[in-house]
Structure 1
Amino acid sequence: MSKPRQSLSRLFLNQLPAEEVIHRKHLQALSDQHRGKPFFLDDDGLRMMYLTPACMQSAMKLDEPQRLLCAYSRIMMGFLLFNPAPKHIILIGLGGGSLVKYCYRHLPDCRITAIEINADVIAMREQFFVPPDDERLTVIHADAAEWLPRQTEQADVIFLDAYDTEGLVPALNNAAFYAHCYRNLHARGILIANVWGKPSTLSPMLEMLYTQFSHQLRWLKSYDSYNLIVFASKQQTGQDQLIASAEKLNGVHESLGLTKIPLHWHQITPSATNSEDVIDAIKQSLRGILVTDPNVPQSYAEWKLSVQA
């Protein structure tokens, strides 16, 4: 019998404070009411989507639905440093549509294709103000592991932001799927993956991406969570070019804080010449950044304060 994967919340949150216990009981009651299906909670101007009581999938402000509330989603928009004017984005994992809404509003010349396996998540798109399908936006109910290999059209950007109730989806985080991502990107294309886990889990994943994307791999931890954002680009891009791009884009996408991103990259040094060196370098990096962080909220109450600040 295979060992069950750890859920996202169990990776870093151990002892729950009293108010968190009360909050979880409320969430459990809502989950029971919805018979275990995804549900949403409105609280103090916020709307959150939950896959389970222990797994918040998405969050938004009701009066600013296009705002990227969580830092990890703002960092994922760092693909603009590589390509400020994409024509086609594929997003794997719709959730509450935070990235879809931002791209739809701020990139008017871009077409967006969102793939979501969970029909119950898609059914909540109106509650999260995801625009209806049109010539620029298409939401497809499908398993991306089956859908992507059948595609022949290449995209400029692929967002990989897919979770189930147990965490990262193995079918979407392996060498074969990364090869399909690579094939379905233009020559200047970039894959941005939002991942979460322990260094021992993430190291093999990063090594596979490092190999598939010919060493053009960068990563950094989110400012307010333990999400690791990974950028895998097909084209070689220098640090000076990224910094110059950030300064140019800062006024256009001021809320993203793009000028911060190039200062915090983690990469494999050129001295890593074989697989063992690469794995060791990745593990060393992850051990240094996926450590206890006082800036990361440890409860729902702390998280709510941080996003309302």
Structure 2
Amino acid sequence: MYLNPKCMQSVMKLDAPDELVCAYSRAVMGFLLFHPRPSHILLIGLGGGSLVKYCYRHLPDCRITVLEINADVIAMREQFMLPADDERLRIIHCDAISHLQEHACTADVILLDAYDEDGLVAALNTAEFYATCQHQLTVSGVLVANVWGKPSALAGMLSRLRHVFDRQVWWSRSEDSYNLIVFATKDKNPSRPANTGQHPTLQLEQLTTRLLSIDPDVSFEQPEEELQALKHSLASIMVADDKVPQTYADWKKLVTHQQL
């Protein structure tokens, strides 16, 4: 799925539609490190439905709600082999900001993965919207955001999330792209399960070694000091990487090689 000619939004294997092909989507599932047994997941942004299909299949005790503003994206759900709405799955055509202001969703996990033809949706990455998401989470809930941009812009996003979530924020770059995956926990003492082998294809143990953060107990006298610390952290990972494919053909070769 492409929302514009230059940016691949989602991809699916026809013979394995539930598989998470993109590394960023496997990293997003890292919320299982913080909340291994969610009962309700709220997704903001449907895309090709990769995350929906994985959660629907591999988390059978979990209810899934999806908020998607683009009717054309929803219209493609059959082509991307998404299951029909039932007692566990509901896809809602709506504006996420208005919907969450008007309805109580009470989610254990919120996956914020909202892009349009212009890229990252700015209105869904503000302090106000982060606060709305935080309010909708259960006591031990987790917000996961898939974001993209220059380190200076990403530092601002991380700063806003740290303010809303009392500095309980971790981040990691995707292995095959420059997407930044961010985890913000409502619980000040989030649990980390010792056994991550239940989902071997996600490679969660490897993700734990790549997670970065600033110690929540560290305080900054000035906001600019925090921004500088965040920029320094991002500068260590948001750098030119020869391993990141530059074209779809290169990316396909990488995925094929990894699966051999």
TM-score normalised by structure 2 residue count: 0.95
Are 1:204 and 2:156 counterparts? yes
Question: In structure 1, what is the Cα distance between the partners aligned to 2:213 and 2:225?
Answer: 13
Deviation at 1:215, TM superposition (A): 0.6
Aligned with residue 179 of structure 1, among 119, 126, 131: 131
* Within-5 A mapping of 1:23-172: 49-172=1-124
Are 1:286 and 2:234 counterparts? yes
Question: In structure 1, what is the Cα distance between the partners aligned to 2:128 and 2:218?
Answer: 27
Aligned with residue 248 of structure 1, among 179, 184, 195: 195
Deviation at 1:97, TM superposition (A): 0.2
Partner of 1:234: 186
Aligned with residue 259 of structure 1, among 199, 205, 221: 205
CA contact (8 A) 1:158 1:192 kept: yes
Letter in 2 for 1:70: C
Question: In structure 1, what is the Cα distance between the partners aligned to 2:180 and 2:148?
Answer: 6
Deviation at 1:278, TM superposition (A): 1.4
CA deviations on 1:110-134 (whole Å, 9 max, x unpaired) are 0000111110010000000110000
Partner of 1:222: 174
Partner of 2:218: 271
SS of match in other structure, 1:219: strand
Deviation at 1:150, TM superposition (A): 1.4
CA contact (8 A) 1:171 1:177 kept: yes
1:117–1:209 distance in 2 versus 1, CA, 3 Å: same
Deviation at 1:307, TM superposition (A): 1.8
Deviation at 1:94, TM superposition (A): 0.2
CA deviations on 1:4-52 (whole Å, 9 max, x unpaired) are xxxxxxxxxxxxxxxxxxxxxxxxxxxxxxxxxxxxxxxxxxxxx1112
Letter in 2 for 1:150: E
Letter in 2 for 1:172: L
Partner of 1:29: none
Partner of 1:300: 248
Question: In structure 1, what is the Cα distance between the partners aligned to 2:79 and 2:183?
Answer: 30
Letter in 2 for 1:159: L
1:281–1:100 distance in 2 versus 1, CA, 3 Å: same
SS of match in other structure, 1:61: coil
| Structure 1: gaps (5+ residues) | 1-48
Question: In structure 2, what is the Cα distance between the partners aligned to 1:71 and 1:237?
Answer: 27
CA contact (8 A) 1:151 1:184 kept: no
Question: In structure 2, what is the Cα distance between the partners aligned to 1:89 and 1:75?
Answer: 16
SS of match in other structure, 2:155: helix
Aligned length: 255
SS of match in other structure, 1:190: strand
| Structure 2: gaps (5+ residues) | none
TM-score normalised by structure 1 residue count: 0.80
CA deviations on 1:88-125 (whole Å, 9 max, x unpaired) are 00000000000000000000010000111110010000
Partner of 1:31: none
Aligned with residue 191 of structure 1, among 143, 146, 163: 143
Deviation at 1:236, TM superposition (A): 2.2
Aligned-residue RMSD, C-alpha: 1.2
Question: In structure 2, what is the Cα distance between the partners aligned to 1:236 and 1:260?
Answer: 23
Question: In structure 2, what is the Cα distance between the partners aligned to 1:281 and 1:202?
Answer: 12
Question: In structure 1, what is the Cα distance between the partners aligned to 2:256 and 2:92?
Answer: 32
Deviation at 1:249, TM superposition (A): 2.5
